[in-house]
Each structure stands twice: as C-alpha cells, then as structure tokens.
Amino acid sequence: MAIRYAVIGLGNFGSWVVRTLNDLRQDTIAIDIDKDRVQKIRDYTSTPVLADATRKENLISLGINEMKAAVVSLGDNTSAATLITLYLQEMGVGQIIVKAVDEDHGKILKKVGATDIIFPEKDMGVKVAKSLVMPNILEFIDMSEDFQIAEIAPPNDFVGKSLAQLALPQRYNVQVIGIRELIPERFTIVPMGDFIVKDSDILVVIGRGSNINRIKSY
C-alpha cells in the first residue's frame, strides 16, 4: 500500500495522529528530530524517520511531495512549523494540517500555505463547554459561524416516535441527514419519515447551533 500521509513532529498530538491512522490501516511517514520519539512510534508506522524537517532537501528525499496530506505538529517551535509549512506548499502537498499555538500563528500559517489549522486546547475547550450545556449532543462539526452538523443521542420523548411525528424541520428548522443505528449496526442516510427512533440510535442533524441546542429540551 502506498503511503499517503506524512506526520512531522511526534509529540503527544503527532504521535496520536500516527497511531490513529495505523488503527485505520493507513500507513504514514513519521518524522521527528528527536531519536526517542522516533523509537517510540516504530510499532505504528513502516517509515519512522529521524530527520530535520526544516531542511527542504530532507523532505524531498523522503518523497513528501507525493503525499496526499501532511500533518505538522511542533509544539512551541513556531518558526520551524512555519518554515516546514511553506516547504510543503511549495512541494505541492494537497492538504497541509498544522497545529498552531495561537490565533496569530494560525494566520501566519494560513498565509504560507496551511489548508487546515488546529488549535487543540481551544477546540477541546469549546467541545467541553458545549458538552456541559448540551449533554445529549455527542459530537459537533462547525460548517460556518451559524451552521453545525451534530450527532445527538435522542431524548426520551423521541423514542418510539417516527421522524414524521417528531417533525424536527418544522419545529426546530433542523434536518435529520442520517441515523447511526447500533442495534442492528448500520447507518441510514436521509432516513424516511416513517423511521421509528430507538433509544440506541444516534441522530445526525444539520442546522443552526441555537436550534440544535433547543432539541435537548424537547
């Protein structure tokens, strides 16, 4: 299988990206300048590399230009992360995901070619806050400032009713775009109105965040 992903920086964040891709049966080139970090990740990648990724020739020799995506996670080393991001952009890597230390760093990374900026502490803080306010909402994807896709554990009042009876588009201006059934295990895309909601189901909905939040008090 051709390697499609590179992970540069094998601290906590980067190493978990490598491990998770390995669990998903996706191989990586895993790069770090620290020998111990490279040693620890050997069981999760076919290509652990001890190298200085701030040297463009090292990236070229490793074939990083052929990667579908690259993840850059260098902790507080903002200058190195910025330089590597620039190199990846110049090499034509399609998706460049970079961990930023703050908003200003994120803006700089965007200007030099990052396609996706990750703020782990900020993102986790938002997720925890939302889970406190909306405990039945399991996961969020922000589509814009207003719209979200969310996975929702159905409130008790939903169970045993059909989607037509619940009338979520009419009541809340929220659309059910999928249902993840656990018993039996399957995923239904755009379910019909006669679908009966079970307590083990997970509803995947799209709508304004404020409207999704109202569902919890149904």
Q: Which CB contacts under 8 angstroms, 24+ apart, belong to 118-126? A: 118/13, 118/73, 120/13
Which pLDDT band holds residue 189 (cuts at 50, 70, 90)? confident
Cα–Cα nearest to 70, from 21, 124, 1: 21
Phi/psi zone of residue 160: left (φ > 0), alpha (ψ -120 to 50 degrees), beta? left
The number of angstroms, rounded, from the C-alpha of 59 to the middle of its chain's C-alpha atoms is 25
Q: According to the CATH classification, is domain 123-215 in 3.30.70.1450?
A: yes
Helix spans in 92-184 (H):
103-111, 120-133, 163-166, 168-172
Percent with pLDDT over 70 in the chain: 88
Q: Please state the domain extents for the chain.
A: 5-118, 123-215
- CATH architecture observed for domain 5-118: 3-Layer(aba) Sandwich (3.40)
d(CA 25, CA 94): 21
Is the confidence at residue 20, as pLDDT, over 60? yes
pTM summary value: 0.64
Residue 104 has pLDDT above 80, yes or no: yes
Which tens digit of pLDDT belongs to each residue from 105-162?
A: 999 999 999 999 988 777 667 666 666 665 555 555 655 556 788 888 888 889 999 9
Using one digit for the tens of pLDDT, what is the confidence trace for 157-176? 899 999 999 999 999 999 99
Average pLDDT of every residue of the chain: 88
- The pLDDT assigned to 39 comes to 96
Distance, CA of 69 to CA of 90 (rounded, Å): 14
Q: What is the three-class DSSP state of 66?
A: helix
Cβ atoms 205, 176 nearer than 8 A: yes
Written as one string, the DSSP assignment of 71-101 is EE--TT-HHHHHHHHHHHHHHT-SEEEEE-S
